[in-house]
Structure formats: structure tokens, C-alpha cells
Amino acid sequence: MRSPDSEELDKYPAGPVDLGQRLQSGLPQPDDTQPAFGPSASTLYRLRGMAEKPKRTRGGLSDEALEIAQNLGDKSVSEPVLTGSVRAADIAVIVLTGVGAAFTDAGSVPLDIVHGVAILVASVFALAFFQAADAYQISVMRQGLSQFGRMAAGWTLVFAMFALLRTSTGLGSALEQSWLGAWYVLGLCALLILRLCVFRLVRHWMQSGHLERRAIIVGGGTAAAELIHDLEAQADNDIKICGIFDDRANDRSPPVVAGYPKLGNISALVEFARLARIDMLIVCIPLRAEQRVLQLLRKLWILPVDIRLSAHTDKVRFRNRGASFIGTVPFVDVVQRPITDWDMVAKRVFDLFFASLAILMLFPLMIAAAIAIRTDSKGPVIFRQKRYGFNNEIIEVLKFRSMYHEQSDPDAKKVVTKNDSRVTRVGRIIRKTSIDELPQLFNVLSGSLSLVGPRPHAVNAHTNETTWDEVVDGYFARHKVKPGVTGWAQINGWRGEVDTPEKIQKRVECDVYYIENWSILFDLQILLLTPFRLLNTENAY
């Protein structure tokens, strides 16, 4: 009896597939800055009709899917950030115990440049030895005795190196034996205590699900079952399968595969990914079913998740930079989440520093604006509006009130136009100069906004009675990162009234470009250009 996937394959040519050629034949070629193959976000965005608009209600999800999504809403711990933090902690321990050894009874020696160089050398070699012993692998960090043994061996090798240098070359002969001995003992004890704390934290995070990568299987049947079995057979597998989504009916795609339920179709998956914290979508469809794979990618690229094509059942040839492995199971990397791991940390530090600096510098202006608003008209100084945030989450954005209180429009049902009678005298000034946006700096401190990013649009924002997600295909791709107080679209003149489809189209194009090309320097460039671009008030009213 033939499987449903075998029937699907009958539609496509048989034989080995060169994945790069096959996928790229159906999509525009990426430029040199893009991955080895597969569509970039802007490429997909420009192909009208390719991106599915997510539903505004949760009606597309079953009760089971809703319950699972609600249980997957907590944030995860980034593995690169965790391992980097442990490395930094190891360096701190080595330096502090080296200094502390000089103040023990055994040491009691004054520190000088020779001791400083010894501490620096020990730090470098210790990290190298720990790395060689795989002490920074999550799979090792969650083991007790194995982790302690690796750390002890690495630290011992550092001092064996010191002893070898002293006896063979004479280097380090100025270092006191008592100091070295005290440093070895203090360092070993401190490193083992640190790793005991790491062991307990990692074990707790593993049990609570904070260190797992949550994945959804796209496509069911025999191929999905084989993939699940292969993943679960991998030692130290950190992938947690949260469910299966497939457009095919139950007669072609069983409702339960390898013990995991089918939670809905692809439209339901988009809604599910908005509600749950999902790290990865694994498209488990034979790669020779090329058109079906492309159709799925066109619907899913707007989500802020990694997208992988399972290649474990296909004989494919692809460039190494486009491939990744979970254990021995091969995957093809198609879409990467933007601004993750250390990039996310760097951007958050950037936001906190410059937002705090801006608040300190602009606080007198903000006080003056608040007094003027309160004097000019009745009502609260601050206006709160629901807008789209990261991953389509609804956030509350702060602004200085620029309209008469009784005519305010928190739902953005009516677009502000030139000479709008609802805008107060002070409101016209603060809107033209963008002073009304300054309270959003506090949104940055709270974490709902970033300093630089796509501007947060009102939930009901529309043009000609049509909401913007219906005007622009792929509109929700701009929500793959946090929205910002200022952005690349504003730098390029796309601010103010949006009264034509072209204006929102251009804004989204700039937003997607920013997401694809983000860097700290790019953020800094946008931030420095913002005051000068605000001088152009042609469309601000």
C-alpha cells in the first residue's frame, strides 16, 4: 500500500535533487548578502499575493491547539547568551581568585605586571582548554560529575603549562610558588562552585522548558513520523515537538503522528505561532514536491521563527552554508529569525542607554509640552493607543495628547488629515515636530518598543476603508522585530498621513529592508539622522 507522500511525489520528477537549483528555479535569485539559497524576506514581500494574511480572530484554532499555545507562551533562554555568560563568569573567577591569592596567608605577595600577565595568559588558556573539553556545551552543562571533571582537568592543565614553561624556558620564574599554589586551589574551588550553580540552573531550565527549542512539524504522514523518530533517537536532543499542522485531510494525513496530534491547517498554524513561543518550523515534505514547499514558504515567511526544510529522507546535494544538523538529521536553512541571541542583547543595551540619555536631555521639553497641553485643553496629558507590537502582540503606546479629549480616537477609526478640527492648537505643533512621540521613550525602557525599528501602527489603521494588512501583501512581516520610536521608513520621508496604498507600501518596503539589514551601526545611523529628517514637516499634521 502506497503512502500519501508517495502519491504526492508522483507529481514531480524522480531522482536526486540539487536543492539549490530546484528551489531557486521557483524564486528570484538572492543577492550576495543572502543565504546560499531560498528567498529573502524582501524578495518574498515583493511577490504580491504570496503572503497569507493571518486571521484576526482565534476561531481557526481548535480548543486543543489553544490550550497548547497558551502553555507555550513563556520566554526561552538563549543558548549562545547562556554559554557566553558562563565564559564571562569563568574569566571573572580566574581573575578574582588570582588577585585573591595574593592576600592569603600562603601568598601574601604584592601583585605587579608579571602577575597581571600570568592572570591574562591563564584566562586565555583556561578558556581554550575548557572549550576543547566541551565544557561550554549545553549537554555537558546539564551533567554534574562529567562537567566538574572537565573543569578540573582544564584548570590543572593551565598550571601544568606554567610548570613546563618555568622548567624548560625559565619563563614565569619570578612567580612565587606560594601564590601559584594558592591561586590553583582557590580557582579550582571557585570554578567547581560556579559549575555547580550552572548545573542546577541548566537542569531547572531544561525541566521548565526554557532551554528547549520548540518546533512545529509542517506536513504529516510517514515522512513526519520518520523525522520525529530520528529526532527523538538523537542523544542530547533539545528539540521539543509541540504539534503538527497540515493542510491535507485526515485520509492523507493522520490526525496523530508518532504520538503527536495534528492541530490544524496552515492558516491555523500562523495564528498558533502568534500565540505560542515557537522557535522553529520544520517543513517535513519531500523536497521533490517543490511547488508545495514553495506554497508553504510563501505563507510562513512572515512569522518570526526559524524555518527548516527536513532533508533526512531525500538524497540532496546542497552547499554547506545552507545546511544544519540536529545530531545526524540534516536540515536546510531557509529563513532565520532576525535579531536573536547576542544581537538581541546588544540591541537591548543600545535601547536602554540611548533612551535613558534621551529622557535626561529632553525631560525639560517634555515637561513644557505637558504644561502646554494641560493649559490648552481639558483632559489627560498622555494619550494611550493600542498598536501592533512584536509578533502581532497588542501593546499600549504612549503619546502626548494632541486632540481634544472628547474627540480622541484611541481605536484609529478616522485618520488624522490636514487641518483636522480634532487637533488642538498645541497638538498641531507637537505633531509637526514629533514631540508628541517623546513619551514612547518610556515604552522603550519597559521593553514594549525598541528605539529604532518599524513604527508601531494602530490596530485598525486603514486607507480608503481598507486595513493596511489588506492593502499590502506581507504586511505582518514588519512585526518580526519590535517596533521602534523611529525607523528607516521615517528617515526616507515616509511619515505622516497615509492616504494612498503606495505610501503604506513604501513604508513596509523600508521596514522589511531594515529587518534584513539590521546592525547596531545601522540603528545608530538612523538615530543620528532622525533629528535632521524631522525638519521635513510636509506630511506631518
pLDDT of 266 over the 60 cut: yes
The reply to whether the predicted model has a pTM over 0.75 is no
Q: Domain 18-26+35-48+57-75+213-337: give its CATH code.
A: 3.40.50.20
Q: Is the separation of the CB atoms in 485 and 431 below 8 Å?
A: no
Would you state the pLDDT for residue 372? Answer: 94
Q: Is the separation of the CB atoms in 423 and 416 below 8 Å?
A: yes
Residue 317, helix vs strand vs coil: strand
pLDDT of 259 over the 70 cut: yes
Mean pLDDT of 249-262: 83
Would you state the pLDDT for residue 23? Answer: 42
CA distance 10 to 399: 58
- Binned at pLDDT 50, 70 and 90, residue 273 comes out as confident
Sequence-separated (6 or more) residues with CB below 8 Å from residue 449:
389, 395, 397, 440, 443, 456, 482, 483, 484, 485
Would you state the pLDDT for residue 327? Answer: 60
User: Of the ranges 44-48, 114-118, 310-314, which one carries the lowest mean pLDDT score?
Assistant: 44-48
Q: Within 10 Å of residue 137's Cβ, how many Cβ atoms? A: 16
pLDDT of 440 over the 90 cut: yes
Would you state the pLDDT for residue 400? Answer: 93
Would you state the pLDDT for residue 36? Answer: 35
Q: Is the separation of the CB atoms in 503 and 494 below 8 Å?
A: yes
Return the DSSP state at 403: B
- Average pLDDT of the chain? 79
Residue 276, helix vs strand vs coil: coil
Would you state the pLDDT for residue 540? Answer: 58
- Binned at pLDDT 50, 70 and 90, residue 411 comes out as low
Q: Which amino acid is at 136?
A: Y
Would you state the pLDDT for residue 167? Answer: 80
pLDDT of 394 over the 50 cut: yes
Would you state the pLDDT for residue 350? Answer: 93
Mean pLDDT of 192-202: 93
Return the DSSP state at 39: -
CA distance 242 to 148: 33
Q: Is the separation of the CB atoms in 212 and 206 below 8 Å?
A: yes
> Who has greater pLDDT, 247 or 312?
247
- Binned at pLDDT 50, 70 and 90, residue 10 comes out as very low
CA distance 333 to 433: 44
Would you state the pLDDT for residue 12? Answer: 35
| Boundaries of every domain in the chain | 18-26+35-48+57-75+213-337, 79-208, 342-533
Handedness of CA 395, 401, 402, 407 (dihedral sign): positive
Mean pLDDT of 201-214: 84
pLDDT digit string, tens, across residues 476-514: 888 889 999 999 998 988 877 777 888 888 888 899 899
CA distance 432 to 282: 47
Mean pLDDT of 244-269: 84
Cα–Cα distances (Å) from 384 to 195, 351, 426, in that order, read 46, 21, 18
- Share of residues in the chain with pLDDT > 70 (%): 78
Mean pLDDT of 17-40: 39
423 DSSP β-pair partners: 403
Would you state the pLDDT for residue 40? Answer: 44
User: Of the ranges 171-175, 368-372, 501-505, which one carries the lowest mean pLDDT score?
Assistant: 171-175
